[in-house]
Amino acid sequence: MTGRFIPFNRPQIEEEEIRAAVETLRSRWLTTGPRAEEFERDFARYVGARHAIAVSSGTAALQLALVTAGVSAGDEVITTPFTFTATAEVIVHCGARPVFVDVRPEDALMDPARVEASLTPRTKAILPVHYAGQPCDVERLGAVAAASRLVLVDDAAHALPARVGGRMVGTLGDLTAFSFYATKTITTGEGGMVTTAKEEYAERIRALRLHGLSRDAWTRHDADESWQYEVHEPGYKCNMMDLLAAIGIEQLKKCDAFHAARCRCASAYTAAFSRMEAIIPPREAAGRQNAWHLYVILIRPEMLTIDRGQFVRQLRARNIGASVHFIPLHLQPYYRKAFGYAPGDFPNAEWFYERCISLPIYPGMTQDDVLSVIEAVADLSRRFRR
């Protein structure tokens, strides 16, 4: 048993972030302003996107992306059941129906072949999730979307800095939504970003994030008639304030270093778990860079005398902060009642869920922390071997 608790995640907040937050507080400009604009420019440059628009959360980023894509009442959006509820709830908030398609059992990513089979005249968009940091098959999904004149909206909450070939996630779909929640690969505590190559999309999101106003407070601050603005449509209140953006600017500078640390941890895990018969480690697909937001192993229940839930509890008893991502949405009461989904509808998602365990992975993990996690998993694999 390890001597101290190793949490599932710990944000890497250092003096640079603290100094930036304090400087912003002293500036007296706290809401959306110069730091938010700087964060947007830096982020767009980092991922290679033409536009980046900072918002209050990853969920807000997804909702604004769908609204901007024209999703409305009566439409359908194809997505995955193997995700956090935010992915599907924003579809519902648009008045549309989430149409789930099953995932591939090897990586829990949306299966493009099943997407094609689920298209109807009501389909408006395809919303894949880059689960755990592993990029989806966006080439095929993009081709399906283009052939049917659909909008491809990426849920990239897990996917900074993931790549497909030489291109970074954030430049692959029509619109991409990122999250900077406390557990993400970079964090602002709460916050999100939408990237797009289309000027008209970017302009609409900038207006929608602040009540549909033609100019935000910072834009009006320097204008001769600062009180002048126009409302072109009802919007939302989901702009990112400068206090959070200041933290994001410093976090983004460290994104590559954070990713390198996650890769070292993932490599050590994979090398060890590949030697354990009862454990299936994740694999990084060829031509893709995994962001390693999560490190998800699968247990082989036929080889063990305990199930996944018991395995997680045993890890926690050994001071390892393991978790599970995710409970498939078609098993949740709301989606069963509202849309008629039922257990058994998506067997691959259920198969993955029954076996998956998310292990601690974050930049501040020491070599001893990583070894403690490996030793705990190895001990359970031996102790409860069938």
Radius of gyration of the chain (CA): 21
The active-site residue out of 184, 198, 237, 253 is: 184
177's tokens: 């939504």
Distance of CA 233 to the CA centre of its chain: 28
Of all helices (H) and strands (E), which one includes residue 77?
A: strand 76-79
* Residues with Cβ within 8 Å of residue 109, at least 6 apart in sequence: 80, 103, 128, 129, 130, 131, 134, 136, 137
In what order do the strands lie in the sheet containing 295-299?
Answer: 279-280, 295-299, 356-359
* Cα–Cα distances in angstroms (integers) from residue 111 to residues 76, 126, 229, 240, 346, in the given order: 17, 12, 45, 34, 12
Distance CA 367, CA 113 (A): 41
Collapsing DSSP states into helix, strand and coil, what is residue 313? helix
176's tokens: 């991409």
Distance CA 53, CA 60 (A): 11
Strands 295-299 and 356-359, how do they pair? antiparallel
Q: What is the largest CA-CA distance in the chain?
A: 76
Tell me how far apart the terminal alpha carbons of the chain are, to the nearest angstrom.
22
Sign of the alpha-carbon dihedral angle for 195, 198, 202, 205: negative
Annotated active-site residue 184? The verdict is yes
Mind telling me the catalytic residues?
Answer: 184
